[in-house]
Amino acid sequence: KAGVTQTPRYLIKTRGQQVTLSCSPISGHRSVSWYQQTPGQGLQFLFEYFSETQRNKGNFPGRFSGRQFSNSRSEMNVSTLELGDSALYLCASSFGRYDGELFFGEGSRLTVL
Amino acid sequence: KQEVTQIPAALSVPEGENLVLNCSFTDSAIYNLQWFRQDPGKGLTSLLLIQSSQREQTSGRLNASLDKSSGRSTLYIAASQPGDSATYLCAVKAGYALNFGKGTSLLVTP
């Protein structure tokens, strides 16, 4: 069975631009969450989506947004990019919201110049 | 706020050794605890999931234990191999999100 697929894998942007990242969860999984990984802060929770609704959001500014489609695929968007947004963005999917095992994709590596 | 700590931060062992990675968390009201492996530049690979009602889980050479009352988990790796070299992350699910430790960077030398 296919795993979590994230696109693009690598991208380079300049400050002030915006970026959209995509995540296709494992078939049948309805919960999708996003995490940011940086060397300094480690892994930090960004959002959780379930049934096309954002259920929770981490402590990130409003420049970070996302959505989930009816097929459970999710996108996240970062507007007005800053140098500090350079990170590995990881998407995870699970069958249930609370006690299910999370499966992660390979991530999207964003570099902001 | 749930705090997750992993000790040691780095570990180097010769091939064949058995080893233990430690994880501690501050709030025992958790749904589950999950151990992951991350290779450089890659995503996270789930190794073991322990539900809050369970004491341990095993998969091949890996065994993870959970002691909720003391806020501790250990990951035991038997007969380590160079291919086990990676960063191992412990994550606790206490609400809607996983709280991660900073990881233990493991190097297994031939």
Inspect the interface and report whether the beta carbons of B96 and A101 lie closer than 8 Å. no
Give per-residue pLDDT as tens, A27-78: 999 999 999 999 989 999 999 999 899 999 999 999 999 999 999 999 999 9
- Rounded average pLDDT over A78-85: 98
Residue A99 has pLDDT above 80, yes or no: no
Residue A1 has pLDDT above 70, yes or no: no
- Rounded average pLDDT over B74-96: 96
Q: Which of B43, B97, B99 sits opposite A105 (nearest CB)?
A: B43
Nearest CA-CA distance, residue A15 and chain B, Å = 23
Instruction: State the Cα–Cα distance between residues B5 and B103, nearest whole angstrom.
Output: 8
- Rounded average pLDDT over A21-26: 98
- Chain A residues within 8 A of B93 when measuring between CB atoms: 98-99
Q: Tell me what percent of the residues of chain A surpass a pLDDT of 90.
A: 88
Token pair for A28:
């049948």
Q: Is the dihedral of CA B100, A89, B9, B77 positive or negative?
A: positive
Instruction: State the Cα–Cα distance between residues A99 and B28, nearest whole angstrom.
Output: 15
- Chain B residues within 8 A of A58 when measuring between CB atoms: 97
**Which band of pLDDT confidence, cut at 50, 70 and 90, is reported for residue A2?**
confident
